[in-house]
Amino acid sequence: MVLQAFYVCFLLNILKRKTTIMDNMAKGNGDNALLRLRDINKTYMGAQPLHVLKGITLDIREGEFVSIMGASGSGKSTLLNILGILDSYDTGEYWLDGTLIKDLSETRAAQYRNRMIGFIFQSFNLISFKTAVENIELPLFYQGVPRRQRHKLAMDYLDRLGLADWAGHYPNEMSGGQKQRVAIARALITKPRIILADEPTGALDSKTSVEVMNLLTRLNADEGITIVVVTHESGVANQTNKIVHIKDGCIERIEENLDHNASPFGVNGFMK
């Protein structure tokens, strides 16, 4: 079975490379890609080495709204961590806005993350002993923004997301949807060009999931932010304009989804 899976991935990579050549001829070699991956491989070493990414080649252009969809263990979260410079890769190339991301020091990696990337997590990752507004201010604190200025900016984002009245509340006093909106505001406050969202609806009920995905859709449409969402839910993926299907560490196919009819999404405001 392992050998069979290897050959399937090998054949898929050959087909992808042929497709990439044709795409590059039509699109100017992909030079306008904000995120560019070429033949990325990643193995976690241990008693039994685990080859989690196998020849990943992918372009994501500025302003795209993309989902990476796959089952648990497919490699999608590892791929997102590499895009977010939270994890390294073994071989291949990752270019971020024309800069090769490889063997960076932690200081240099943090500079790229703070300047270009906002993160949204399934578990919110809010600091429990800080209020909503204090959580949102944190990225600006690390950038050295003066206290009064960062507080005003954080309040502006809370107001935009309908949470101004919750500024002084702690995470354990908020619902899951409210906590995720605080997390989104925290991701946006540094005005990143890219938002990476790892299962952003995973801890939410179906109705709140629709609200969060609608919010991300508006951010992409109105502000042109490049958004990449990792999910195992077809309904979430169907909100995005491009779906990257990943299985066993390989990209199976990339599906254009501008009509949002890849799968059923939402019945009377509820996600399937």
> Would the pLDDT of 12 be above 70?
no
pTM value is 0.83
More confident residue, 212 or 30: 212
Could you give the CA distance from residue 92 to residue 42 in angstroms, rounded to a whole number? 9
Q: Which pLDDT tens digit goes with each residue over 224-249?
A: 999 999 999 988 999 999 999 999 99
Contact predicate 60/66, CB 8 Å: yes
**Mean pLDDT taken over the chain:** 86
The whole-number average pLDDT for the span 55-61 is 97
Contact predicate 84/257, CB 8 Å: no
What is the model's pLDDT at position 261?
A: 74
More confident residue, 243 or 18: 243
Burial state string for 107-146 with b = 16 or more CB within 10 A and e = fewer than 16: eebeebbeebbbbbbbebebeeeebbbbbbbbbbeeeebe
Token code pair at residue 64? 């795209």
Residue found by looking up tokens 């500025």 in the block: 62
> Would the pLDDT of 16 be above 90?
no
Residue 150 identity (one-letter amino acid): R
Sequence-distant contacts of 109-117: CB under 8 A, at least 24 apart = 109/85, 112/85, 113/84, 113/85, 113/86, 114/139, 114/142, 114/143, 114/190, 115/190, 115/192, 116/192, 116/193, 116/194, 117/84, 117/85, 117/192, 117/193, 117/194, 117/195, 117/196
Q: Which pLDDT tens digit goes with each residue over 176-216?
A: 999 999 999 999 999 999 999 999 998 888 888 888 999 99
What is the model's pLDDT at position 8?
A: 54
Q: Over pLDDT 90: what percentage of the chain?
A: 68
Could you give the CA distance from residue 24 to residue 12 in angstroms, rounded to a whole number? 18
Handedness of CA 211, 81, 56, 192 (dihedral sign): positive
> Would the pLDDT of 260 be above 90?
no
What is the model's pLDDT at position 272?
A: 45
Whole-angstrom CA distances from 100 to 5, 76, 77, 93, 94 are: 30, 21, 21, 7, 6
Three-class SS state of 3:
helix
Q: Which pLDDT tens digit goes with each residue over 207-221?
A: 888 889 999 999 999
Q: Over pLDDT 70: what percentage of the chain?
A: 85
The whole-number average pLDDT for the span 246-268 is 79
What is the model's pLDDT at position 31?
A: 61
Token code pair at residue 108? 């240099």
Q: Which pLDDT tens digit goes with each residue over 124-162?
A: 999 999 999 999 999 999 888 999 999 999 999 999 889
The whole-number average pLDDT for the span 104-112 is 90
